[in-house]
């Protein structure tokens, strides 16, 4: 097995309400993000939950803010807008969607989402002519025909 490079996810607490990200187990895919404040996510509504932490992602990674399966299964709570760019340095917020007919109470310290560090590529972009794609998509598209 190839040796792994030691990678560090740095963070700063922005207020006395902030709580450190934690892992549920040694091999958990992500770090649990916790609410810095008490709040209510209205029934069939959404709310931005502040963590009051600022992070520095490892080089070559972005942060994926993913739902916690228990919240989704038991309370119909989902996470939206879950990408943190490598160079983002603001307060990490979690957009929670409540798909149930009941308001959902969030207490300070509740684990609301998980932060997963994923490798990312930053490709250059190149515009090409339509003909570049026609041989690959012609069989699947009624709008494009091979010549």
**What is the pLDDT tens value at each position of the chain, 147 positions in all?**
445 678 999 999 999 999 999 999 999 999 999 999 999 999 999 999 999 999 999 999 999 999 999 999 999 999 998 999 999 999 999 999 999 999 999 999 999 999 999 999 999 999 988 877 766 655 556 655 545
* Domain residue limits, the chain: 10-137
- pTM assigned to the model: 0.85
Four-residue CA torsion sign, 47, 49, 54, 56: negative
Beta-carbon contacts of residue 74 (< 8 Å; ≥ 6 apart):
none
What the block records as the tokens of 16 is: 């006395």
- Contact in structure between 98 and 45 (CB atoms under 8 Å): yes
The architecture of the domain spanning 10-137 is Distorted Sandwich (2.70)
């Amino acid at each position: 097995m190839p040796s792994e490079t030691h990678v560090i996810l740095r963070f700063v607490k922005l207020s006395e309400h902030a709580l450190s990200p934690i892992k549920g187990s040694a091999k958990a895919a992500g770090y649990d993000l916790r609410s810095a404040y008490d709040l209510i996510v209205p029934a069939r509504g959404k709310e931005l939950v502040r963590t009051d932490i600022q992070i520095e992602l490892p080089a070559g990674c972005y942060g994926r803010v993913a739902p916690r399966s228990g919240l989704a299964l038991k309370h119909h709570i989902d996470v939206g807008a879950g990408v943190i760019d490598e160079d983002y340095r603001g307060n990490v917020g979690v957009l929670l969607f409540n798909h149930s007919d009941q308001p959902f109470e969030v207490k300070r310290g509740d684990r609301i989402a998980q932060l997963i560090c994923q490798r990312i590529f930053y490709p250059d972009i190149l515009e090409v002519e339509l003909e570049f794609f026609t041989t690959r998509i012609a069989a699947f598209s009624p709008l494009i025909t091979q010549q």
